[in-house]
């Protein structure tokens, strides 16, 4: 791997930290998640009815983009093709695409325009699996909807033919739509990994068109496994970051030498990626804000998913949560963008993020009395401010703190030592600027 060009292309990604994942396709109509074909073993023929019906009357990519912007998200990734094989873009290699439905529009093109117009970086997700293509293994595959179905036992699939198709589609995405910031392949499993996808060739083609695109690690792995990016000998297709799914790694992610790796946790707001009509177990904005902070404090990104419904609307629960996240971000995003882990002990009451000589103490647990600022002596500190308002936070010194000389204490209450209640019960951020 060419280190300088890697570090260069990763700059914005490591700075921006917070993105929107969008899972959308025909599966929004059955509304039972994007794996519905697999779970219910639905045939391509049965599933085709959703293709004939697809006409999301309220779809407006500008509304999605405005919401992402409001939430403070700096990049987005849309499912150009998910496992069901349905393409949201106008591919010349298939008829199974949005432009052939009653809707008749190129959703990828509209998405890219709307998000770029908001100044949001754009990514495309592309499924390596394809449950619609006749040459993708059916019977013997472990996740295909027709797995183990005797009707397909003797079917012949020309996998090379599928690979030609897949490569051609990826090339379309890399050449027909301008600059793409992220390419999110999904995913490898069983023996379907690495060169099975003709990955070296694929990556060389992608890089020839999109030299700076940031690519995930799933040509080798899935949410499980880090891949060769974590070793001393990464392959050409190791990807640029690790992609933990539905988990935030306990201590960030390190390579085999113990050096920090770039990673991005992708998580759902409820428990499905694609729209699901009964799944109302949405995480609160409080939880998500704290999880975003957790990712950054461990040197990672958060890619937070929304699953628009069959009309093209982001569920109102998600929209409400995103707005609440946005209100917090409006005041506190300095503690997220450009920040990373602080190399300090994790405080009892929360977490720390860091940007250069600024340390952001995120307080999520109420304290009794003054707040210990970890890691610094008084003489090292230039100033301490409440990030949300810019107000000075005074140092608290007196008989209460005397027994703990290893810490600098601060208070934001009306008087010395008073710190209850937290100004922001979700996450109060104290910005400590250290002398350089
Ligand atoms: C999984 C699932 C998929 C989802 C993805 C997001 O690999 O197969 O439905 O798109 O994770 O990370």
User: How sure is the predictor about 412, in pLDDT bands with cuts at 50, 70 and 90?
Assistant: confident
The answer to whether residue 49 scores a pLDDT higher than 90 is: yes
Task: From the CA of 187, give the closest atom in ligand 1.
Answer: 7
Nearest C-alpha to atom 4 of ligand 1 is from which residue? 273
Q: How many angstroms separate the alpha carbon of residue 369 from the centre of ligand 1?
A: 45
Q: How many angstroms separate the alpha carbon of residue 394 from the centre of ligand 1?
A: 47
Q: Report strand pairing: 182-186 vs 214-215.
A: parallel
CATH fold of 3-335, please?
TIM Barrel (3.20.20)
The per-residue pLDDT for range 258-269, each reduced to its tens digit, is 999 999 999 999
pLDDT at residue 69, rounded to an integer: 98
**CB-side neighbour CA atoms (13 Å) of 256:** 10
Q: How many angstroms separate the alpha carbon of residue 251 from the centre of ligand 1?
A: 23
The answer to whether residue 35 scores a pLDDT higher than 90 is: yes
The helix/strand count (H/E) of the chain reads as 9, 13
pLDDT at residue 125, rounded to an integer: 99
Task: From the CA of 266, give the closest atom in ligand 1.
Answer: 12
Task: From the CA of 274, give the closest atom in ligand 1.
Answer: 9
Domain ranges in the chain?
A: 3-335, 350-434
The separation between CA 74 and the C-alpha centre of its own chain, rounded to angstroms, equals 11
Task: From the CA of 184, give the closest atom in ligand 1.
Answer: 12
**Is the full-model pTM beyond 0.85?**
yes
E strand or H helix at 10: helix 3-16
The per-residue pLDDT for range 62-121, each reduced to its tens digit, is 999 999 999 999 999 999 999 999 999 999 999 999 999 999 999 999 999 999 999 999
The per-residue pLDDT for range 355-398, each reduced to its tens digit, is 999 999 999 999 988 999 989 999 999 999 999 999 999 999 98
**Cβ within 8 Å of residue 429, ≥6 positions away:** 332, 335, 360, 361, 362, 363, 386, 387, 388
Q: How many angstroms separate the alpha carbon of residue 129 from the centre of ligand 1?
A: 11
Q: How many angstroms separate the alpha carbon of residue 179 from the centre of ligand 1?
A: 24
Mean pLDDT of 313-337: 98
Nearest C-alpha to atom 10 of ligand 1 is from which residue? 273
By CB neighbour count within 10 A (0-12 exposed, 13-18 middle, 19+ buried), where does 395 fall? middle
Dihedral sign computed on CA atoms, order 374, 378, 381, 386: positive
Which is nearest to 329 in space by CA: 363, 295, 359, 288?
288
Show the tokens assigned to 43: 């045939």
The answer to whether residue 413 scores a pLDDT higher than 90 is: no
pLDDT at residue 22, rounded to an integer: 99
The per-residue pLDDT for range 328-346, each reduced to its tens digit, is 999 999 999 999 999 999 9
**CB-side neighbour CA atoms (13 Å) of 206:** 28
**Cβ within 8 Å of residue 70, ≥6 positions away:** 322, 323, 326
* CA angle (194, 199, 204) in 5-degree steps: 150
The answer to whether residue 416 scores a pLDDT higher than 90 is: no
Q: How many angstroms separate the alpha carbon of residue 83 from the centre of ligand 1?
A: 9
User: How sure is the predictor about 419, in pLDDT bands with cuts at 50, 70 and 90?
Assistant: confident
By CB neighbour count within 10 A (0-12 exposed, 13-18 middle, 19+ buried), where does 390 fall? exposed
Radius of gyration of the chain (CA): 24
Q: Report strand pairing: 371-373 vs 214-215.
A: unpaired
pLDDT at residue 415, rounded to an integer: 75
User: How sure is the predictor about 307, in pLDDT bands with cuts at 50, 70 and 90?
Assistant: very high
Task: From the CA of 127, give the closest atom in ligand 1.
Answer: 10
Q: CB within 6 Å of ligand 1 — which residues? A: 23, 34-35, 186-187, 222, 245, 266, 273
User: How sure is the predictor about 40, in pLDDT bands with cuts at 50, 70 and 90?
Assistant: very high
Q: How many angstroms separate the alpha carbon of residue 186 from the centre of ligand 1?
A: 7
Show the tokens assigned to 4: 């300088």
Task: From the CA of 23, give the closest atom in ligand 1.
Answer: 10
Q: Are 155 and 108 in contact (CB under 8 A)?
A: no
Q: How many angstroms separate the alpha carbon of residue 122 from the centre of ligand 1?
A: 18
The per-residue pLDDT for range 210-256, each reduced to its tens digit, is 999 999 999 999 999 999 999 999 999 999 999 999 999 999 999 99
Q: How many angstroms separate the alpha carbon of residue 349 from the centre of ligand 1?
A: 34
If one residue of 78, 183, 187, 225 were mutated to test the ligand 1 pocket, choosing by the most ligand atoms within 8 A of its CB, it would be 187
Count the neighbouring beta carbons within 10 Å of the beta carbon of residue 282.
17
Mean pLDDT of the chain: 97
- CA separation for the pair 87, 99 (Å, rounded): 9
CATH superfamily of 350-434: Golgi alpha-mannosidase II (2.60.40.1180)
**Cβ within 8 Å of residue 400, ≥6 positions away:** 369, 370, 417
Instruction: Output the CA–CA distances (angstroms, integers) from residue 217 to 6, 77, 241, in the order listed.
Output: 14, 15, 6
Q: What percent of the chain has pLDDT over 70?
A: 100
């Amino acid at each position: 791997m060419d280190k300088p060009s890697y570090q260069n292309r990763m700059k914005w990604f490591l700075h921006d930290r917070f993105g929107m994942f969008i899972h959308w396709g025909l599966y929004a109509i059955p509304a039972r998640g994007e794996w519905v074909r697999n779970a219910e073993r639905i045939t391509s023929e049965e599933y085709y009815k959703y293709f004939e019906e697809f006409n999301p009357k309220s779809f407006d990519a500008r509304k999605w983009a405005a919401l992402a912007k409001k939430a403070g998200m700096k990049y987005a990734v849309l499912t150009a093709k998910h496992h069901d094989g349905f393409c949201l873009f106008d591919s010349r290699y298939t008829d199974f695409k949005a432009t052939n439905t009653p809707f008749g529009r190129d959703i990828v093109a509209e998405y890219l325009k709307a998000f770029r117009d908001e100044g949001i970086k754009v990514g495309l997700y592309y499924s390596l699996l394809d449950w619609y293509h006749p040459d993708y293994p059916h019977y013997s595959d472990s996740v295909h909807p027709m797995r183990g179905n005797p009707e397909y036992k003797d079917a012949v699939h020309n996998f090379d033919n599928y690979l030609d198709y897949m490569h051609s589609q990826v090339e379309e995405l890399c050449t027909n739509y301008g600059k793409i910031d992220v390419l999110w392949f999904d995913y490898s499993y069983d023996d379907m990994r690495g060169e099975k996808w003709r990955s070296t060739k694929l990556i060389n083609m992608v890089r020839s068109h999109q030299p700076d695109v940031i690519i995930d690690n799933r040509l080798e792995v899935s949410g499980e496994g880090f891949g060769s990016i974590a070793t001393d000998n990464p392959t050409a297709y190791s990807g640029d970051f690790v992609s933990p799914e539905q988990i935030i790694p306990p201590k960030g992610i390190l390579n085999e030498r113990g050096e920090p790796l770039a990673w991005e946790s992708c998580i759902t707001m409820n428990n499905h990626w694609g729209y699901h009509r009964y799944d109302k177990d949405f995480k609160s904005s409080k939880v998500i804000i704290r999880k975003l902070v957790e990712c950054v404090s461990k040197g990672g990104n958060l890619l937070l998913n929304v699953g628009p419904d069959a009309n093209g609307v982001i569920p109102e629960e998600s929209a409400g949560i995103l707005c609440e996240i946005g209100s917090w971000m409006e005041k506190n995003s300095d503690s997220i963008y450009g920040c990373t882990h602080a190399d300090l002990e994790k405080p009892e009451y929360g977490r720390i993020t860091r940007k250069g000589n600024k340390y952001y103490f995120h307080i999520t647990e109420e304290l009794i009395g003054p707040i210990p600022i970890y890691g610094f002596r008084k003489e090292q500190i230039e100033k301490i401010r409440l990030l949300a308002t810019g107000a000075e936070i005074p140092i608290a010194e007196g008989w209460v703190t005397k027994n703990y000389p290893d810490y600098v204490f601060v208070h934001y209450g009306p008087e010395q030592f008073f710190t209850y209640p937290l100004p922001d019960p979700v996450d109060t951020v104290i910005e400590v600027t250290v002398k350089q």
